[in-house]
Each structure stands twice: as structure tokens, then as C-alpha cells.
Structure 1
Amino acid sequence: MNDTTAAPLEATQQDAVYAHLRQWVTVGRFLPGERLKIRNVAAELGVGLMPVRAALQRLAAEGALVNVPNAGVAVPRLSVAEFDDLLQIRMLLEGEAAERGAGRLQPEQVQALQALCDRMAQSLQQGRRDDYLAANEDFHVILYRAAGSPTLWGLIDTLWLKAGPISNQLFDTPASAPVLNDAHEDVMKALKRGDTAGVRRAVEKDIFVAGQFLRARLRAA
């Protein structure tokens, strides 16, 4: 294989590995403070060390990970003040995206949201946290991207990178599971009423309620 063919293939693999790891960070696959070992990540993805190293450094440049001297990269820990700031900005931006998106959803998208809402309820009942987090991400992606604003979506996506690692700790508090899907059900009720402002309030409630559980975990730590 000549160099002109190898270079695009290598770049494509690096992009694929980056996208995969970025999604893992966003849904809370890695926990705050966790060190990511290149060899272990490469083995799990079934790829070589170089694309993983490049992807991890790219995520560190975005602030999703931090470089640790002589120890590779790790997931950053948020202070309470940093978390509070992140929570307020998320409520502001995601509330705006939700209200805009609610007015532009197609019927098939509303059906997809209902299916995801039902899936989240079932995942919570069965204690399947990874499936809940994956369905939760899909739910919000559909709603926010319907707003039709790449700029707004890009800002939200960046914030998710910072919020993702701590989101897994939602399930460390038993009291959270019974209420985590309430706001999603409120979103569906508001959509059926054609109440876009109600969708915004429901999304803000979703972020706020989850945030209180996570904030309590941060303070305890």
C-alpha cells in the first residue's frame, strides 16, 4: 500500500476512535478521576495504540480529559463551584434548544421520543444504568437537534463532555431512580399539548433534579 492510500485510512481510523471515545465520555462510561490506559482502551476497541493515543490527546485538548505527568490522561474532577456553573449554563442552553426543537419535531420523531421515554422507564426499573444513559442521550439529541441550530447544538455537545463522567454517579443514590424519568414524561405530555414552553420547563427540571443528586455526591466527596 502506498503512502497516499495509507494516510487517509489512518486518519479515518483516528476519527472513528475519537468519535467512539468521545461518546463514551459523554455518556459517563468513565468516572471522574479515572486514569485511561492507552493499552487497555486499544484492546477494548480492537485497534492499535497510535489512534487511541491521538484520540485521547484530542479529547484532552478539548478539556474532556486532562494530562497527568508521567501517568497519561485522566478524567477531570469537578469542584462544586464548577459543577454549579455547568448546571446553570446547561439549563439555559438546553432549555432553549428544547423549546425550539419542540416546535419543529416531525410525528415520527415524537414517536421515537416516546419509545425512548418508555425504554428509560424500563431501564430504571431493571437497574440497567448504561442503557438508561444511552437512551437518555438519544432522547435529548433528537429533541435538541430538531431546533435546527448547529451553533446551539455544538455548545451543548461540548458541555456534555464535561458533565458526562459525573452523570454515572446518579445511580449511587438509590433515591434518584424513582424520579429520573419524571421530566421525560413531562416532556411527552407537553409535546402532546403543543406546549413548547412546557417542554422547556420539563427539560430544565430534568437537568436541575439530576443535578441536585450529583451535587450532593460532589459535596460528600
Structure 2
Amino acid sequence: MSTPDAPEASTTQQDTVYAHLRQWVTVGRFQPGERLKIRTVAAEMGVGEMPVRAALQRLAAEGALVNVPNAGVAVPRLSLPEFDDLLQLRMLLEGEAAERGAARLDAAGQKSLGALCKRMARSLARGDSSDYLGANEDFHVRLYQAAGSPLLFALIDTLWLKAGPISNQLFDTPDASAVLNDAHEDLMKALGRRDSAGVRRAVEKDIFVAGQFLRRRIQQQKVSR
């Protein structure tokens, strides 16, 4: 009886490993240009190499990673045109999701966003980039899922997968931390006024401001290479 269950168990583990790795890419755990070694990733996750290999290839097929000849997979570097295109699409889709979500968000949802906004402020104050990025993702996920459009959220999630690796570089710019939470605070004020259009503008501002810091990083890296 144990043999027929083995493929299902293996598939479940592969899916779990894939989900974890996808999350790591999305929140910027890996840097642009970083080569991902199967053995190292497997050891860090406490799993075998086979599910990690399958997950990395699945992410490469999605464009989140790239295959490097004779070197496995690596995190891609975005060119300026690619980054600008990604930024514009994020503002368009996330602005729409934010406006829809704000119109449907209940009191409990607003309260949870308020708590996350305060958590982000504390994270920035103590220089905890990892906690900030985690809270930031949770904040936007809750708002966008309130829009009630799984298709819209899936499109946004695909864009996040491509933007994730460079997002950590926000904290390589000392003056970024001083302004990163401003748009979230504007958003909470708009929510309090039941101003869905204001929420949309706040999300667009959030993406644009962070994008300008990241754009400069891409330009600097291009010059240094």
C-alpha cells in the first residue's frame, strides 16, 4: 500500500519546496546575479536536492530565474528598460487592485493594515529590512486580495516575482528608509476617509518612490560592471 502513495508524497514535497523558494525570490532573499547552488539551497531548507532542482527549474521556466550554461541557475539582472516596464505595469495593476480592495475592505481588514503599517515603521526604525519586506508584502497582499479578483492578483504576483530580487537593494540607499513608509501612512488616511481613489494614488506613490531608488541602483551597477 505504501508504493502508490510515494509519487503523491513526492509531488507534495516538490510543491512545498517550490512555494518556499518562490516566496524567497518574491521577498528579495536572493540578489540579482546571484547563482543558486542546489546543494546549498537544499541544506538551508533541510530537504533533499531533487525537489530543490525541480523547483529551481520550474522557477526558471516562469522567468524568475535563468539557466546559466554549466553553472546551474541564477537570479536575473534587470536592464533599465525592463525595470521601467515592470514599474509601469505594477503601478497600473496594483493601483487598480488597491482601489477595488479599498472599496471592499471591512473594519477588521483596515485594522490589520493599520497594524502592519506600524510594524513597517518599527522595522525601518531599527533597520530590519527583512521584517519590513515581509510586513510590506503582507500589507499589499491583504489589500489586493480584498479586491476579490483572483486573476488580477495572479498577474500582480507574477510581477512581484520579477521585482523581488532587486527589492532588497532599497536598503543599500541610506535615505530610502526615511520615506519608504510615507505612502503607507497616506494610504491609511485615505482608507479612514473611505477614499478609494486616494488609496490608489498612495499605492502608485509607494511603487514610484521605491522605484526611483532602485532605478538608481541599476544605473550604478551598470556603470560599475
Q: Same fold (TM over 0.5)?
A: yes
Secondary structure, in 3 states, of the residue corresponding to 2:200? helix
Structure 2 counterpart of 1:43, one-letter code: A
| 2:107 is equivalent to residue 107 of structure 1 | yes
Number of the residue aligned with 1:201: 201
Q: CA deviation at 1:218?
A: 0.5
Number of the residue aligned with 1:11: 11
Structure 1 counterpart of 2:107, one-letter code: P
Number of the residue aligned with 1:56: 56
C-alpha separation in 2, matches of 1:114 and 1:2: 49
Q: How does 1:62-211 map to 2 (within 5 A)?
A: 62-211=62-211
Secondary structure, in 3 states, of the residue corresponding to 1:174? coil
C-alpha separation in 2, matches of 1:109 and 1:196: 14
Structure 1 counterpart of 2:61, one-letter code: A
* Identity percentage of aligned residues: 76
Number of the residue aligned with 1:213: 213
Q: CA deviation at 1:4?
A: 1.1
Q: CA deviation at 1:3?
A: 2.6
C-alpha separation in 2, matches of 1:49 and 1:109: 40
Residues 34-91 of structure 1: per-residue CA shift (max 9 Å, x gap): 0000000000110000000000000000000000011000000000010000000000
Secondary structure, in 3 states, of the residue corresponding to 1:73? strand
C-alpha separation in 2, matches of 1:89 and 1:3: 47
Q: How many residues align?
A: 221
Residues 181-207 of structure 1: per-residue CA shift (max 9 Å, x gap): 000001100000000000000000000
| 2:50 is equivalent to residue 32 of structure 1 | no
Structure 2 counterpart of 1:168, one-letter code: N
Secondary structure, in 3 states, of the residue corresponding to 1:67? strand
Q: CA deviation at 1:109?
A: 1.0
Structure 1 counterpart of 2:190, one-letter code: A
Unpaired runs of 5+ in structure 2? none
Q: CA deviation at 1:107?
A: 1.1
Structure 2 counterpart of 1:34, one-letter code: E
Q: Which runs of 4+ in 1 moved over 2 A?
A: none
Structure 2 counterpart of 1:212, one-letter code: Q
Please give the TM-score of this superposition, normalised by the length of structure 2. Answer: 0.97
Please give the TM-score of this superposition, normalised by the length of structure 1. Answer: 0.99
Secondary structure, in 3 states, of the residue corresponding to 1:63? coil
Q: CA deviation at 1:2?
A: 3.1
Secondary structure, in 3 states, of the residue corresponding to 2:104? coil
Q: CA deviation at 1:165?
A: 0.2
C-alpha separation in 1, matches of 2:139 and 2:91: 16
Structure 2 counterpart of 1:103, one-letter code: A
Residues 151-184 of structure 1: per-residue CA shift (max 9 Å, x gap): 1000000000000000000000001000000000
RMSD: 0.6
Secondary structure, in 3 states, of the residue corresponding to 1:25? helix
Residues 14-46 of structure 1: per-residue CA shift (max 9 Å, x gap): 000000000000000000000000000000110
Q: CA deviation at 1:106?
A: 1.5
Unpaired runs of 5+ in structure 1? none
